[in-house]
Chains A and B, each alone.
Chain A
Amino acid sequence: MTPILKLALIGHVFAGLVALIFYYAMIPNLIGKNPQLNFLKRLSLFGLVSLLVSWILAGYYYVTYYGQNVKPLIKSGQLPWAHSILMETKEHIFLFLPFLGLVLLASLLSIKSDITRDDNLRKALASLAFLIVALGTAVTIFGVVISGAAK
């Protein structure tokens, strides 16, 4: 594996984790009594940027290395389903995540009213942030199992 590929592998994991930390931090703030709109906008922006960084790095690793070098190992190993089920699922969720992040950021940027008075809006935004965290956590765990199967 070349140094650039190693960097892509390491970078996509850490950028993804950092994104999840940002989105995770949004949930209690949205549900709490005093949500701070500017703080939420910042978290959402940082979360989206981190997701996009993770997206580009993972895309590079997947297109240039995974298919030719890792996938055959998994398919011929003891856990071929790690690719056929987990990686196939991971790919699609992973492609979808930045769009969810974009929806969340766009929703926060478009809020003109007092967010503290609109419980339904806050609950909907918290649910969206939770969905990103839940899906992100799922693909992270899939990644661990997929890597474990590449032996």
Chain B
Amino acid sequence: MTFVYLVIIGLQIGSIYALVALGYSMVYGIVKLVNFAHGDIIMVGAYCVWYLMSRLAVPAWLAVPAAIALCSVLGVLIEKIAYKPLRNSDRLALLVTAIGISLFLQNAVQLIFSADPRMFSNIFEGTISIGDRQFSNATAVTIATSTLIMIGLTLLVKRTKIGKAMRTVSEDGEAAQLMGINVNNTISFTFALGSGLAAVGAVFYCCSYSQIQPTMGNMLGLKAFVAAVLGGIGSIPGAMIGGVLIGVTESFTRGFISSQLTDAVVFGILIVVLLIRPSGIFGRNIGEKV
């Protein structure tokens, strides 16, 4: 029974990682940037939901879409203001800019809401019992919604026009432009989509951890990023599988070994994967041309 319990808890955390990892992966696929500010967009989303619900008493069904919208707009704004001017310059400069944005978001939120952790009440009250174990409703909702979102996203990328544009731009930006695809709009759409998913991830994260603070995005972002790399950065199914793998590994380590070593195990797996198969599980290995 413990085994099933750990798998289900792992799936819950893993779905959250997968939602966040999708944002990293899509953005990396399109602009080849490790978006360090992504973790902090999650944090902004969490604060937005918290503020609307506990301060303005907005119902959850309104607060969650509002947070998704805010994060999407924020993602697009960050891309337009900070990343677009640097699109053709050194990759390192872009990386440092992303770090700068991450610091800015953290400190701006800290300035507005103070550094104290805030309590977040679970939106999905109640429990379900499977066998002799109790699960919160949040667990079920997280796993179910994430699965639906991922199916939707796969359909979006595979079947729609904008999805086709996204795949084309990530394949070859210049060629896409020559084919009449609006690269700027496609990039903006990707950032909006990724940040929106981050907001959904934020809501689920808050429901299972019930505490938010301005630096919460750091570790969550880092682990989601590991998930994206594990699955093969730039690959959408890879991000999902990677997220779930990291989540299950974490809950198994916590259950069977020690809760203090979870981070070491997660990063250890990352290192082993990178050494054996550097492009991740689903990534394609592109040979270097002279």
Q: Do A and B come from one complex?
A: no
